[in-house]
Structure 1
C-alpha cells in the first residue's frame, strides 16, 4: 500500500470515529476544550501546543518526552512521545470537539477524536513546543558555585533536572567546613572502600581473615585517587556542565571478578540512590552507537557500559557526549538528529580495556588488581553494596563536605590542565589534591600510551627518523620496511599517500610530520619529520615562531627539488610557471 493510500485510510478512520461519537454525550467538565478545524490545522495545532505547555508533564529533550516510572530501575526515565501516545495525552488533558450542522441548520458541538495527522504536525513543530527543557534525571542534590546545596525534589527550572529520591542532608554537611572536617570525610570514604583491590595501593594483611586491605595510613595512590575523584564526580555530575567519564579496568582473564561492576554500582548508589543498569557494546559499532543514543535519550543519571573486554574502545558519539553540550544524537526509529543536553555520568568497565583515539583524555582511569588467579573466590567480612545503600546519607554528606570545603577555601593547589573540563577541576580535582590525593589528569598520558594506533604511529615516526632524519621525502620513496608499520596489510601506495596526508601536522613521540606542497604541475608533495622540544614556541598567524628570524640567502640555499619532466616539449617556459620556479631556485 502506498503512502498516499495509508494517509487516506487514516483520514477515513479519523472521520468515522468523529461521526460515531454520540452528539448527546456530555462534554468532560473541567477540561479545556479544543476545536478540531480540518481546514485550518495550524490553529488547532497551536491551540494544542498552548494546552500541553500549560498542563505540564511534557518536557523538551530535543523531542517531546514524558517521565515514566520504570519498575526495574525503581525510578523515572524519559520516554519519547510518539504520535499515537500524543493523541492519548491530549485527550487526558483536554476535550477535543468538532462542530456539526444538523438538518434544521442548527450547529452543535460534538465530541471528537484528535486526528493523528495533527499529532504528527505538533511533533514536527520543532523549536515552538514551549516545553521546559529536561537535561536529565538526578537523585543527587543540585550544587551551586558558592557552596549552596539544594535537596528539593521535583523539576528544577534553573538546571533543567528532574530530581527524585534526594536524601535530606540538613545538619550533616557543615556550613563552613574546616580542613579537619574535609580530612575526616576523606578518611571515612577510604575506610569504607578499603577492601577494593586498587592496583597501586599500599596494602596491609589481616592475619585473622587473610584479606588484604588498603593501608589508609598512607596517602592514596593513583588508582584509589582516581576512584575518589570518580565518586565525587558522580555526586557533582548533575550540577557540572561537563565532566570526565570513568574507566574501571583490570587485567585480561585474571581480572574477572576483581570488583569492577561492584565498584561502579556502589558509586551510583551513593550518588543517585539506585543501581545502574548495565549495557553491553553489541556485536557492531553501529549497534553500540544506537545503544548509547537510546540510553542518553532516557535521561538516566548513569550510562554504564559493562564487559568491554579485550578491546581498545572508541566511539565518536560518546566522545561528543562527554565533551560537548549540547551533543547531537540520533532518535531511534527516525532519520533525525537532535541536540541533547546530556548530564549522565559515563562509566566503562572491562578486562584488558583501554580507550582509543580522542577518548583517552576524557576518562578517569581506575585499575584493579586482585593479585590472584581466582578473584571471585575471595571472601569479605561485609556486603559492601548493602552497606553503602544503608549508609548513603552519611557517605553522600562526607563527599559534599569535601566539595563545600573546596568551594569555600582559598588558594588551593591546582593540578595539570585538563581541557574541556574547566569547572570540574576546581570542583572535584583541586580539593582532593589539597587533601593528599594524586592528580587523575596524570593518567591521561598513560591512556594514550595504551592506544595501539598511537603506538603504531609513534613507531612509524621513530623508524622514519632513523632512516631519513629531516630530509623531505615523497610517499612513493619510503621503504617497504617503514611503510609496513602503518600498512601491515600491504595495500597499495595510494593508501600510504592518503595516510600521510591525514597525518600531516601530527605530533607524536617527539616529532611532528610536516608537508611540503608540490611545486608545479609535475611535482609531488613531500613530507619531513622535525623534532619537537621546548625551543619550538607558539607560532604567529603567519606560521613563524616568535623567536625565529626570517630566512635569508645567508642561511644557505634551499634544498633542491625533484626536476620537472620535460613533457612533450610543446609548452614554453612562459606557459609553465612551475618550471620557471624550479629553474630559478636551481
Structure 2
C-alpha cells in the first residue's frame, strides 16, 4: 500500500503573513497529484475497455441474430471446404448446377424484354458473383484479437470477403449436390414419362424452371375429343390456312412446331434446323418465325454469316437467354448457309465454348430449335442433311400486298401480338400432343441420321393428326438450295461423261482442262469443273484437298471412288452413277 503523504510544513517569512511551501512539501504535493492522475487514467481506461467489451459482445450477438449463416475463415483449405459445403447445402437461393457449373437465376433490374420473354436469366456464378451472394446470405468472418484501452485483449469477429483465389477454387469443382438445371422454359413442357409440367417453378423430373409468360388453362391428362377436334380445326383452318405452302412444307412446319414439345419427351432428342425459304419478300417466312417465337419464347435476331461471330452469338444465346427458339432471320442475298459451327451445333446435345471471366470451357445444353429464314436460300456443307425445308411461293409479284382481310385470322402479326391469342395457340398444341401421347404416341419410322428420334415421332404425330404421307418428302429439294451439292453434282456428271469407268489422278484431271495438255487427256469441261471461291480452277494439290473428304460420298447421283496406290503413295479417283456396282478396291 502507498502511505498517505505527510502534512506539509509551511515556512513563515517574517514581515509577510503568507506561508511559503517548502521544497519538501512541494515535492510531496506533486507526487500526490501524479498518483491521483494515474489512478484517474487507470479508471478511465478500465471504463473504456469495459465499454468496448460490451460493444464487441453486442456486435457479435447482432451478427449471430441476423439470421445469416456464420462461416469462419481459418485457413484457405478450410475455407474452401466450408464454403463448398455451404453452397452444397443450399445456402445461396436460386442456385443450381448445369453441366457441372454453379448457376444462379436472376432478374436484372431495368432489363427490357418482350411480353413473350421471361425476365429471368441463367447466370454462371463467377468468383465476383460468388462473393456478392455470400455477402447477401452469409456472415463470413475471421477471429482477431483486439487490444483494449486497459491493455487486456478481447476476441472480435471481423466480417470479410473470401479471397478471390479461394472463391475460384470453390467454383472449380464440377461435382455438386445442387439441383440440376437444364434451363428455363416459358411454355409447359413434357416430362420423359409423357406427363406435362404445368406448375410454375422448378420441376424435379424435367429439371427445368417453368416461368410462364402466358396464362393457360390446364390441359387434361386425356384431352376430350371435342378439344382435340377444335385444336385440329384451329391449326389447319385458321393458323396455317393462308400460307402459300409448296409440297410437304406445311407438314414439315408442323413437325418443327411441335419439336420443342417432343424434344424433352423423347429424352432431349436433337432437332434439325428449320429453313424457311421464300421466292420473294412478303410471302410469310417471318410470320412463321413469329409463330414459333410467340409460342415458346426465344430470340429473333439478324443472320450472322461469319463463323467466328456466329460461334460467339450461339454461346451468348444459350448461356443466359430463356425460351426454346432461335431465329437467324433474313440470310443475305448471295450468302450461303454453310457454316461449320452451325452444322456442328445441330449434332450436339451440349455446346462447349470458352468465355471471358470463367476458367475452363463452359458447357450448356443445346435445347433450342434453330431456324434460318431467307429468300431463295442457299444451303451447303453438312447442313443439307441436318435441315428441314419449308418453302413458300405466293406466285405473284408482290405478296405483301395481299389484303389481310381475306385471311382466317386477319393480320397474323397483329393477332400474335396479343398474349391471349398466343395462349390459345399454345393450348391447342399442348392438347394435340398430350392426346397423341395418351393414344400411345404412335411412330412412323423415318430415318434421319442424328434426328431419327424426332423425325419418327413427328411423322407418327402427323399421321395421327391426318397429315401423314408428305412429311420430309422434299428432302431431295434441299439439293436445289445446296450450292455445294449442285457444284459437285455437275462436276461428277461431267466427269462421268468425259472419263467413264476410268481411274485418273488429280494431276491428270487438271491437265484435262488445259488447252496445252496431253491430247489424250484434253477434254471440254465447260463450266462444270469444280472451282475455288475466287472462280479459278485449283491446282492438283488443291483438287486433292477438295476430293479427300468426298471419298465414298454420293453427290448429285454419283459416288466418288478413291484408290490408294501403296507404291507411289498417291490417290486416284473415278466416279460411279448411283445404282451401278462400286469398283473393286474403291474407298
TM-score range, shorter chain: 0.7 to 0.9
Counterpart secondary structure, 2:319: helix
Q: Which of 256, 281, 284 is equivalent to 1:230?
A: 256
User: Deviations for 1:168-216, whole angstroms, at most 9, x for unmatched residues?
Assistant: 76665461655x864542221122224643233xxxxxxxxxxxxxxxx
CA contact (8 A) 1:309 1:350 kept: yes
Residue 455 of structure 1 pairs with residue 510 of structure 2:
no
Determine the structure 2 residue equivalent to 1:290. 312
Deviates more, 1:295-304 or 1:435-444: 435-444
Distance 1:134 1:410 in 2: 29
CA RMSD in angstroms comes to 3.2
**Structure 1 residues 223 and 501, CA gap change in structure 2 (3 angstroms):** closer
- Correspondences of 1:202-351 after superposition (within 5 Å): 221-240=247-266, 241=268, 242-251=270-279, 255-270=280-295, 272=296, 274=297, 276-282=298-304, 284-301=306-323, 302-310=325-333, 311-331=335-355, 336-351=360-375
Distance 1:426 1:505 in 2: 27
**Structure 1 residues 475 and 339, CA gap change in structure 2 (3 angstroms):** same
Report the alpha carbon displacement of residue 476 of structure 1 after superposing the two structures with TM.
0.9
Counterpart secondary structure, 2:336: strand
User: Deviations for 1:387-408, whole angstroms, at most 9, x for unmatched residues?
Assistant: 3432334332322232233323
CA contact (8 A) 1:289 1:315 kept: no
Q: Which of 87, 93, 98 is equivalent to 2:131?
A: 87
Report the alpha carbon displacement of residue 279 of structure 1 after superposing the two structures with TM.
1.9
**Structure 1 residues 143 and 50, CA gap change in structure 2 (3 angstroms):** same
Report the alpha carbon displacement of residue 287 of structure 1 after superposing the two structures with TM.
1.1
Distance 2:501 2:381 in 1: 27
Distance 1:177 1:278 in 2: 35
Q: Which of 140, 147, 156 is equivalent to 1:96?
A: 140
Distance 2:103 2:300 in 1: 23
Determine the structure 2 residue equivalent to 1:14. none
Determine the structure 2 residue equivalent to 1:19. none
Report the alpha carbon displacement of residue 282 of structure 1 after superposing the two structures with TM.
4.0
Distance 1:264 1:231 in 2: 10
**Structure 1 residues 517 and 197, CA gap change in structure 2 (3 angstroms):** same
Distance 2:455 2:566 in 1: 48
Report the alpha carbon displacement of residue 438 of structure 1 after superposing the two structures with TM.
4.8
Report the alpha carbon displacement of residue 461 of structure 1 after superposing the two structures with TM.
1.3
TM-score w.r.t. length of structure 1? 0.75
User: Deviations for 1:75-114, whole angstroms, at most 9, x for unmatched residues?
Assistant: 1222233322221111111111011123345433221122
Distance 2:477 2:250 in 1: 16
Residue 199 of structure 1 pairs with residue 245 of structure 2:
yes
Deviates more, 1:328-337 or 1:137-146: 328-337
Distance 1:158 1:85 in 2: 28
Number of corresponding residues: 489
**Structure 1 residues 64 and 507, CA gap change in structure 2 (3 angstroms):** same
**Structure 1 residues 188 and 470, CA gap change in structure 2 (3 angstroms):** same
Residue 424 of structure 1 pairs with residue 450 of structure 2:
no
Distance 2:495 2:428 in 1: 54
